[in-house]
Amino acid sequence: MLPFKLIYHERYDLNLGAHVFPSHKYRLIAGELVKRGLAAEEDFLRPEPASDKDILRVHTPEWMNKLKTGSLTVTDIMKLEVPYSAELVEAFWLAAGGTIKAAQTALRDGFGCNLGGGFHHAYPDHGEGFCAIHDVAVAIRRMQADGAIKRAMVVDTDVHHGNGTAAIFREDDSVYTLSIHQENNYPDYKPPSTVDLSMEDGVEDEEYLRELLPAVEQGLKSFEPDMVFYLGGADPHHEDQLGGLSLTVEGLKARDAGVFEAARKRKIPVVTTMAGGYARRVEDTVQIHLNTIVAAKEVAEQFPP
| Contacting range for Zn ion; rule: CB under 5 A; set: 48-56, 163-171, 223-231, 269-277 | 269-277
Indicate the SS3 state at residue 180. Answer: strand
- CB nearer Zn ion, residue 110 or residue 277: 277
Shortest distance in whole angstroms from residue 158 CB to Zn ion = 4
Residues 62-101 that bind Zn ion (CB under 5 A): none
- Dihedral pair phi/psi, residue 87, rounded to 5°: -65, -40
Greatest CA span in the chain, whole angstroms?
51
Does position 134 bind Zn ion by CB under 5 A?
no
| Contacting range for Zn ion; rule: CB under 5 A; set: 5-13, 63-71, 111-119, 151-159 | 151-159
H-helix or E-strand containing 110?
A: none
- CB nearer Zn ion, residue 144 or residue 177: 177
Q: Side by side, which strands form the sheet with 152-156?
A: 44-45, 5-7, 111-114, 270-273, 227-231, 152-156, 175-182, 195-199
Instruction: Report the distance separating Cα 256 and Cα 261, nearest Å.
Output: 9
Shortest distance in whole angstroms from residue 102 CB to Zn ion = 19
- CB nearer Zn ion, residue 21 or residue 303: 21
- CB nearer Zn ion, residue 104 or residue 182: 182
Shortest distance in whole angstroms from residue 51 CB to Zn ion = 27
Compute how many residues bind Zn ion; rule: CB under 5 A. Answer: 4
Instruction: Report the distance separating Cα 277 and Cα 239, nearest Å.
Output: 10
What is the crossing angle of helices 61-69 and 86-109, to 10°? 120
Instruction: Report the distance separating Cα 169 and Cα 270, nearest Å.
Output: 19
| Contacting range for Zn ion; rule: CB under 5 A; set: 44-52, 132-140, 155-163, 212-220 | 155-163
Contact (CB, 8 A) for 276 and 242: yes
- CB nearer Zn ion, residue 24 or residue 151: 24
Does position 235 bind Zn ion by CB under 5 A?
yes
C-alpha distances in Å from residue 85, one per residue of 69, 123, 124, 228: 10, 19, 20, 32
Q: Which of 264, 255, 251 is nearest to 299 (CA)?
A: 264
Strands 175-182, 195-199: pairing kind: parallel
| Contacting range for Zn ion; rule: CB under 5 A; set: 65-73, 89-97, 188-196, 272-280 | 272-280
Q: Which residue is nearest to Zn ion (CB)?
A: 276
From 276, 293, 297, 299, residue interacting with Zn ion (rule: CB under 5 A): 276
3-state per-residue secondary structure call for 127-177: CECCECCCHHHHHHHHHHHCCCCCCEEEEECCCCCCHHHHHHHCCCCCEEE
Question: Which 8-state DSSP code applies to residue 202?
Answer: T
| Contacting range for Zn ion; rule: CB under 5 A; set: 22-30, 149-157, 195-203, 271-279 | 271-279
Shortest distance in whole angstroms from residue 238 CB to Zn ion = 15
Shortest distance in whole angstroms from residue 298 CB to Zn ion = 25
Shortest distance in whole angstroms from residue 235 CB to Zn ion = 4
x/- site string to Zn ion, residues 158 to 197, per CB under 5 A? Answer: x-x-------------------------------------
Q: Which residues bind Zn ion (CB under 5 A)?
A: 158, 160, 235, 276
